[in-house]
Amino acid sequence: MTFNIEAFSERFDHSAMLAGFRRELITSVQGMAVAGFTKCVESGDEGGGRPWVYISAGVHGDEPAGPMAMLALLKEGVFDERANWLMCPFVNPLGLAAGTRENASGIDLNRDYLERSSEEVQAHAAWLESKPVPDLFVSLHEDWESSGFYLYEINVAGVTSGAHAILDAASSEIPPEPEPVIDDHEVREPGWIDHSPKADLPKHWPEAIFLAERGAGVSYTLETPSSLDLIRRIRCHQLAAGQALDGFLASVTA
Quick one: angle between helices 119-129 and 207-214, nearest 10?
30
Q: What is the pLDDT of residue 253?
A: 77
| Nearest-angstrom CA–CA distance, 154 and 202 | 16
3 state DSSP class of 116: coil
Other CB atoms within 10 Å distance of the CB of residue 246: 16
Query: What residues does each domain of the chain span?
Result: 5-253
Q: What is the CATH number of domain 5-253?
A: 3.40.630.10
Quick one: angle between helices 5-18 and 65-76, nearest 10?
30
Q: What is the pLDDT of residue 44?
A: 55
What is the pLDDT tens value at each position of the chain, 254 positions in all?
568 999 999 999 999 999 999 999 999 999 999 999 999 987 555 556 899 999 999 999 999 999 999 999 999 999 999 999 999 999 999 999 999 999 999 999 999 999 999 999 999 999 999 999 999 999 999 999 999 999 999 999 999 999 999 999 999 999 999 999 999 999 999 999 999 999 999 999 999 999 999 999 999 999 999 999 999 999 999 999 999 999 999 998 76
